[in-house]
Amino acid sequence: MSDFYTEQLVKRKASMGTMVAKAALIALTVVSLLSFFLFPLGILFFGIMIVADIFLFRQLDLEFEYLYVNGDLDIDKIMAKQKRKRVFQTNVSELEVIAPTGSAELNAFQNIKAHNFSTMNPDHKTYTMVVVKNGQKEKIIFEPNQTILEGMRMLAPRKVIL
C-alpha cells in the first residue's frame, strides 16, 4: 500500500498594514541615519534600527506550506524563505467540517476564533476547517489545492464539503 502524500506552498500577499510597517521601518532607519551625523549616540540608534529592519522584514515575508500525508495535515509558516515553524497540525479524525469559507455549513461555528493561514488574496478560494483539539474547537482558514481536499475527502467523505 502506498502513502498519500502531497504538499503545497502559498505565499501570503502583503497587506496594507504590512506595507505601512515596512515604510515606517525604512523612515525610522533614515531618521536614525541622520541622527548618526547629528548626535554622538546616533550610531547606537542607527545600529538598533538596522538590526530591527533585518529581523522584522524577515517576519513580514510569509509563506505557508501545507503538507498532507495519510490523514495528517501540517501547516508550516516559512519566514523570509529561511526559517520554518510548525503553526498547526491535525489529523482527519479531529475534523469536524471543512467547507468553502462563507458557506452555510459553517454558520454554526461563527463564534470560534479563526487562524488564517491563507494568502489573504480575495481572488483565491479559501476553505475553513473546524477541528476539535483537546476539547476545544479551532477554525482554520487556508487554501488547499484539489489534491489535499480529495485526500481528506477519501478519509472523511461526510465532513469535507467541496
Could you report the per-residue pLDDT of 89-103, keeping only the tens digit for each?
Answer: 999 989 999 999 989
CA-wise closest residue to 8 among 142, 154, 121: 142
State mean pLDDT over 11-24. 83
The answer to whether residue 10 is domain-embedded is no
Task: With respect to residue 41, please indicate whether it lies within any of the assigned structural domains.
Answer: yes
In a domain, 26, yes or no: yes
- For residue 29, being part of any structural domain is answered with yes
pLDDT of residue 31: 85
Q: Is residue 28 part of a domain?
A: yes
Indicate whether 46 belongs to any domain. Answer: yes
Q: Are 128 and 99 in contact (CB under 8 A)?
A: yes
Domain that holds residue 24: 16-60
- As a whole number, mean pLDDT of residues 47-66 equals 85
Q: What is the pLDDT of residue 4?
A: 82
Q: How far apart are CA 108 and CA 129, in angstroms?
A: 13
Q: How far apart are the first and last CA of the chain?
A: 27
Total tally of structural domains belonging to the chain: 1
Average pLDDT over residues 19-38: 84
Is pLDDT above 60 for 128? yes
Q: What is the pTM of this model?
A: 0.78
To the nearest 10 degrees (0 to 180), the angle between helices 16-38 and 42-60 is 160
Is 107 contained in some domain? no
Q: What is the dihedral of CA 133, 138, 143, 147, to 10 degrees?
A: 30
Q: 40 or 82, which is more confident?
A: 82
Least confident of 24-33, 111-120, 148-157: 24-33
Residue 67 has pLDDT above 60, yes or no: yes
| Dihedral sign, Cα of residue 151, residue 152, residue 155, residue 161 | negative
Report if residue 132 sits inside a domain: no
Joined grid coordinates for residue 54: 533585518
Mean pLDDT across the stretch 124-138? Answer: 91
Return the higher-pLDDT residue of 133 and 66. 66
